[in-house]
Amino acid sequence: MLQSGQGAVELVLTLAGSMVLWSGVMEILTRTGDVERLGRLLARVLAPLFGGLKDRDCWAAMGMNMAANVLGLGNAATPAGIRAAQLLEKQGEAGLRALAMLLVLNNAGLQLLPTTVMTLRSAAGAANPADVWLPGMAVSGAATLCGLALMGMINRGGMKRG
């Protein structure tokens, strides 16, 4: 029992160190204005998916949330996701549709770099913690494409009629 407790504490410290590092990086990016620039870039690329949403603050929060999720930093993405939801709620129907799309993208889990999973695998003693990268990319990419297709069908069909 004592050995398991020691292992649990070591795992928590490993994860906490990773979360602190990436949360700090996200804070630096916010303070330097890079998150706002990322939001503008995402607004240009993803505007068709989000129904013409124009609010810069919404795009900045969504940009930070999506960037953290793509980097596999779910814990760092949560505050930005909550902020994005609060801002999108104030945008009326277009904001609620954008929020639905954001939730689909977040839950599909597209990750270019699954840092939390690799940290856990490293802490567990995996010989190559990055072995999950390619299968993870394939699965999360397929889930994202399916989510986008379903949202496209919903937006063209049932939700517009109802």
Q: What are residue 7's phi and psi, to 5 degrees? A: -65, -40
Residue 122 is given by DSSP the state: H
Residue 51 is given by DSSP the state: T
DSSP E strands in the chain: the ranges are none
Tens of pLDDT, residues 85-139: 999 999 888 888 889 999 998 888 788 878 778 888 888 889 999 998 899 889 9
Is pTM, for the whole model, over 0.75? no
Q: Where are the alpha helices (DSSP H) in the chain?
A: 2-31, 34-46, 56-70, 74-89, 92-108, 115-123, 133-156, 158-161
Tens of pLDDT, residues 17-74: 877 887 788 788 778 988 777 767 777 788 888 877 888 888 888 888 887 787 777 7
